[in-house]
Chains A and B, each alone.
Chain A
Amino acid sequence: MTLPKAFEDWFKRRGWAAHRHQIDMLEKQNASALLLIAPTGCGKTLAGFLPTLVDLADGTHDGLHTLYVSPLKALASDIQRNLSTPIDEIGLPIRVESRTGDTSNMHKKRQRADPPHILLTTPESLALLTSYEDAPNIFRGLKRVIVDEIHALAESKRGDQLMLALARLQALCPDMRRVGLSATVDKPEDIAKLLACNPDPCEILRADPGPTPDISMLETNEAPPWSGGGASYAIPAVLDAVKQHKTTLIFNNTRAQAEIFFHNLWLANDDSLPIGIHHGSLDREQRAKVEAAMVRGELRAIVCTGSLDLGIDWGDVDLVIQVGAPKNVKRLVQRIGRANHRYNAPSKAILVPANRFEVIECMAALQAVQENDLDGEARGAGPRDVLCQHILLRAAAGPFEADALYTEMTSAGAFADLSRDAFDQCLTFCATGGYALKAYDQWQRLKQAPDGRWHLRDPRSSAKIRMNAGTIQDSDLLKVRMGRARGGKALGEIEEVFAASLTAGDTFLIGGQIVRYEGLRDMTVEVSRNRGRKPKVAVFSGSKFSTSTQLSERILTMFEQEDWPELPPHTRDWLRLQTEMSRLPQPGRLLVESFPHDGRQNLCVYGFAGRNAQQTLGLLLTKRMEDLGLAPMGFVATDYATLIWGLDAVTDPAPLLDPTSLRDGLEGWLAQNALMKRTFRGVATIAGLIERNIPGKQKTGRQATFSSDILYDTLLKYDPDHVLMQITREEAMRGLVDFARIEDMLTRIDGRIDHQVLTRVPPLAAPLFLEVGKVSVSGAAEERLLAEEEARLMESSGLAKIP
């Protein structure tokens, strides 16, 4: 098929020629599912929309034609702007609108009554849209769905939710065709399976990947620090690089790191270069302002996080800087692709290791990019908490038949293998809670009518079901506002836990400025402007990525070398220092270090088994230590090591690491640990057992809602096989356990443990102290600490002397 003349002419007027893959997409537009794999900046979005625009050109279609779903709200408005160019210039009779969490209620209502030809939305807004009784009307005539950045969605429950919503749409519109747009990935066929309506096939189109990127590691005069994620040593060099380029994106791995880096960049920014900051915890308006300034080309650099991983087409970005270890080669390649959106020009990227371990990781990543060795982890079956939520949303849309809903759900790739039993369990949970020992006969949520169809007992509950929709798990966040007045400027959000650690007068960084904590009022953190003092760093709930297996293996192989001429001298020296103070981890052996630090005894186990397995190792080892009376207090895991701290020192790690007892411990570990409770909290919220905490809408004052930990404890005690407990276990096994890799590691080392007893923190262990995601263990240590504190407080307050 060739382009219609009007389109051909438009391409010519712009001085463009349609890309091969754009024409291919047009030719294959009747495929029931089609996946395009293409690097950034090659007209991927236009390739997705071209068949829609051509189809709508004659103005005969009535109602919704194409639904576009992207993981980012910001993308919707960006796409709307981009689409208006061909629509206006060719003069097409097409109405495009977006619908996200930011769309006004009035506008949303109008859209339901009179849908546009093209609707741009997010998985969450789409799920909600399918939950209205008038869904069949809204989607009448729908022909195509475009899922943008599907590689990002495929990695999370958001993707699972989206595919269930598409299954719903497919039932409403049997002829609907699916198109997926993806960045370069390791296994396109996995994404294809997710996209297609099971068991239909999905064809994969690959665009020309373009030239190899120009990627290097930052060279500085000053060495990176032993530990930490701030990378402040690199500030002058980064500023220099910014000066030499038009626009630079500076990626950081966490929001906290982005704040610190931005702050330090400004302190050194003597030329007052316009530099902005962008991350997920900043207020929406602040982010929109930065995005707009970027589009206008007014900013020389943006310090950002994964919030700019996707979407928005910054035309002028000519340099990408990655601060901190990239953790994952695939994402690094995608980030690098953000630079130079001109097809056929190599993207330019600089890696900035934040500490010396990251120098090694960066070097490994660099080699992997050059060898185009992408990494990826397979995802298991679709999580059933998302299924529960979908059942409730379906019920909100009107009565349904269980058989039909089961068939519909198994047409979503991730749920293809869902058994009827497992489905029924979810349905029962939604209806009655599904408790083994007791039931809510009278007050169940869903009831079965005499005709066999399921419906809500109380139709008013649909509002609450919609309010709790979504699969993104935010920890409890509090809004931060400037000034005491209600009208004070909103700056962003911080975690409640962090807010609780502040007292009036404390200062912290948010949105690049130092603010002074004044107080908490109506669940809003009130701050004032403050300069100069050394600020605390807020804890943000940004996503934490784990280093891929390939990178870990590459690092371990590097350690085998006699010397490291490819590494900068400071890192070579560091590895040598580790060799002097302790030793380097070796393949086939397990390095374990014991040392005191900060009033605690530490144990560091270098398993190089990947974050999840190291995390499990932390759980199992702390459990064993608790049993042995060693009073462990917590642990933190990275991809290469687990650091455990407690009140007593471990003198012999060998019995702790005995495979048989570790395996036995796995049975018991489920019982009581913070990680399981954290997983349960997410599962219970998504499945609709507990209500989502909506920032700013929390109950104020007395008797706030009790914690989900109590529900977990209660189920564990009275109903340990409850479906939510099963889901929690499954998710933990998949997400956090990965016991197979611990067994692999133990087999590999076969008892060859190198135990180093040291008097201070060894170089290789130092960065672990700054890792995020510390897990607390409550046991004997808490009782001992409370006793200590009781004695101290009673003494210092003089109460101890009162009989």
Chain B
Amino acid sequence: MNGVEFSLAGAVLTALGSGALWWQEKRLLCVSDLHLGKSERLARLSGQVLPPYDTQDTLIRLEHDLQQTQAAIVVCLGDSFDDLEVLDELPEAETNWLHRLQAGRRWVWIEGNHDPGPVQLPGSHLSELPLPPLTFRHIAQTGKSGEISGHYHPKVRVQTRLRSISRPAFLFDSDRVIMPSYGTYTGGLRSSDAALKTLMRPEAQAIVTGQTPRVIPLPK
């Protein structure tokens, strides 16, 4: 599989170029911040009518990762929906699509700040998922270890020999992984931002997403 292996609290994890995280031992695929229905929510709230294809695009990529990994467990790490109203407005085709993806596997919806509360879809709804030695939650908590979280949509800027390249990235150190956002219309937060710097150890590294994911030390 096209990914970078690293270990956290003894668990061997693979960061995929798509921005998903694969835990081979449990056959678990984790994706964060899908923000499904973001374009609908923007239209409802602000009248901005963005191309309404983001949900579709996100699901296509998710489907691809599921096919590649044949995952038995899927963890959506919060902010899976841009808000809870989005669920009522989700077109039938997309709801059915989600059902199809969910069929035959365990599916866990972790609560996020955008989707606090149970969603009207099959699967378990949890505020966090402990799966020793790891814990999955939406927002990182200081002082915890073996933690997988999302929320911040981290991206890094890499100054290469000839060009500066900015991409969504996984950040990880000996305590935690912060996942990049998986949704199509989601921006990113620079890894140099104070919020991320205080969470990550100085020796933290980043895995840049893209065609071939790559590990680099976290840019200072």
Contacts and interface: CB of A to CB of B under 8 A. Distances in A.
Interface in B147-200: 152-153, 157-158, 160-165, 184-189, 193, 195
A440 B53 contact: no
Contacts of B70: none
Contacts of A458: 47
B150 to A, nearest CB: 12
Interface stretch (B100-108, B128-136, B207-215): B207-215
B58 to A, nearest CB: 11
| Residue of B49, B164, B214 contacting most chain A CB atoms (<10 Å) | B49
A506 interface: no
Contacts of A691: 48
B117 interface: no
Contacts of B208: 786
Contacts of B185: 706, 710-711, 714
A287 B72 CA distance: 65
Nearest to B205: A799
A498 to B, nearest CB: 12
Interface string A434-478: 010111101111000000000011100100100000000000000
A500 B156 CA distance: 13
A788 B159 CA distance: 12
Interface residues of B, number: 43
A483 B16 CA distance: 44
Contact of B52 (A433, A457, A704, A706): A433
A217 interface: no
Nearest to B44: A443
B215 A794 contact: yes
Given A702-B152, A794-B215, A438 B53 contact: yes
B10 to A, nearest CB: 15
Contacts of B121: none
Contact of B186 (A701, A703, A787, A797): A703
B163 A785 contact: yes
Interface in A380-394: none
A770 interface: no
A793 B217 contact: yes
B167 to A, nearest CB: 9
Contacts of B153: 702-703
Given A785-B163, A789-B216, A701 B51 contact: no
Given A703-B188, A790-B216, A718 B51 contact: yes
Contacts of A711: 50-51, 185
B54 interface: yes
A464 B161 contact: no
A74 interface: no
A776 B51 contact: no
Contact of A702 (B48, B49, B50, B189): B189
A543 interface: no
A785 B187 contact: no
Contacts of B161: 599, 785, 788-789
B40 interface: yes
A689 interface: yes
Contact of B214 (A457, A701, A717, A786): A786
A429 B205 CA distance: 44
Contacts of B9: none
Interface of B: 40, 43-44, 46-54, 56-57, 89, 91, 152-153, 157-158, 160-165, 184-189, 193, 195, 205, 208, 210-212, 214-217
21 contacts: A433-B49, A435-B53, A438-B53, A442-B89, A443-B40, A461-B47, A599-B161, A633-B162, A704-B189, A706-B187, A714-B53, A714-B54, A718-B53, A776-B163, A785-B165, A788-B160, A789-B216, A790-B214, A790-B215, A794-B217, A799-B215
Given A442-B44, A458-B47, A714-B54, 20 more contacts: A442-B89, A500-B164, A599-B161, A702-B193, A703-B189, A704-B187, A705-B187, A706-B187, A707-B187, A711-B185, A714-B185, A718-B57, A722-B51, A785-B163, A786-B214, A787-B212, A789-B158, A789-B160, A790-B214, A794-B216
The 10 closest A-B pairs by CB, nearest first: A433-B49, A443-B43, A706-B187, A718-B53, A461-B47, A785-B160, A438-B52, A790-B214, A789-B160, A702-B189
